[in-house]
Amino acid sequence: MTVQTAPPVGEESGNRLPKATAKARKQREAAARKEILAPVSGMLTVASLLVALASVCSVVPFLLIVAACRELLESPVDTDRVWWLFGAAVIVLVVRALLQVVALTWSHAVDAGYQLTLRRLLAAKLTRVPLGWFGERSSGEVKGYLRDDVDALHFLVAHARLDFIGAAVVPLVTLGYLFTVDWRLTLVLMIPLIAYFVLFGKIMDRDGRDRLAVYTRWERRLSAATVEFVDGIQVVRAFGQAGKAHKEFQDAVEGQVTAAHRMKTPIIRVQAASDIVVMPVFVMLVVVLGGLAGVGLGWVDPLDLLPFLLVGLGIGSSLLGLGYGSQALRAGGAAALRLHELLQTPELDITETPAGVQTGVVRFEGVEFAYRTGHDVLRGIDVELTPGTITALVGPSGSGKSTLAKLLPRFYDVGAGRITIDGRDIREFTSEELYRTVGFVFQDVRLIRGSIRENLLLARPDADDAAIERATRAAQIHDRILALPRGYDSEIGVDATLSGGEAQRLSIARALLADTPVLVLDEATAFADPESEAAVQDALAALVSGRTVLVIAHRLHTITGVDRILVLDNGTLVEQGTHARLRAAGGLYQQLWQINEDALGALALVEETR
Domain CATH for 63: 1.20.1560.10
d(CA 222, CA 241): 19
- pLDDT above 80 for 120: yes
- Residue 374, pLDDT score: 62
Residues 295, 377 within the same domain: no
User: What share of the chain has pLDDT > 90, as a percent?
Assistant: 8
Would you say residue 233 lies in a domain? yes
Q: What is the mean pLDDT of the chain?
A: 78
Would you say residue 194 lies in a domain? yes
Would you say residue 460 lies in a domain? yes
Domain end call among 343, 377, 396: 343
Number of neighbours of residue 9 by Cβ within 10 angstroms: 8
The order of strands in the sheet holding 362-370 is 376-385, 362-370, 416-421, 424-425
Residues 73, 214 within the same domain: yes
For residue 400, the domain's CATH number is 3.40.50.300
Would you say residue 18 lies in a domain? no
User: What share of the chain has pLDDT > 70, as a percent?
Assistant: 77
Would you say residue 349 lies in a domain? no
**What is the rounded average pLDDT of the residues 69-75?**
81
d(CA 589, CA 579): 9
**What is the rounded average pLDDT of the residues 370-382?**
80
Helix axes 161-181, 183-203, angle to 10 degrees: 160
**What is the rounded average pLDDT of the residues 123-137?**
73
Q: Sign of the CA dihedral 447, 448, 452, 458?
A: negative
| 166: containing domain | 26-343
- pLDDT above 60 for 560: yes
Residues 437, 489 within the same domain: yes
- pLDDT above 50 for 15: no
- Tell me the whole-structure pTM to 2 decimals: 0.59
Residues 303, 437 within the same domain: no
Residues 313, 380 within the same domain: no
Q: pLDDT by residue (tens digit) across 231-272?
A: 555 444 444 444 555 666 777 777 777 777 777 776 677 777
- pLDDT above 50 for 431: yes
Domain end call among 343, 371, 400: 343
Residues 228, 305 within the same domain: yes
In one-letter notation, the amino acid at residue 75 is: S
- pLDDT above 70 for 164: yes
Residues 480, 437 within the same domain: yes
Q: Of all residues in the chain, what percent are helix, strand and coil, respectively (each to 5)? A: 65, 10, 25
Residues 452, 573 within the same domain: yes
Residues 302, 410 within the same domain: no
Would you say residue 41 lies in a domain? yes
Would you say residue 574 lies in a domain? yes
**What is the rounded average pLDDT of the residues 374-402?**
86
Would you say residue 19 lies in a domain? no
Domain end call among 313, 343, 373: 343
Residues 323, 395 within the same domain: no
Residues 368, 436 within the same domain: yes
- Residue 87, pLDDT score: 92
Residues 196, 293 within the same domain: yes
Alpha helices in 127-182 (DSSP H): 132-135, 139-143, 150-154, 161-181
The order of strands in the sheet holding 548-552 is 438-441, 518-522, 548-552, 389-394, 564-569, 572-577
Helix axes 19-36, 326-343, angle to 10 degrees: 80
Paired with 388 in beta bridges are none
Q: How many domains, in total, are found in the chain? A: 2
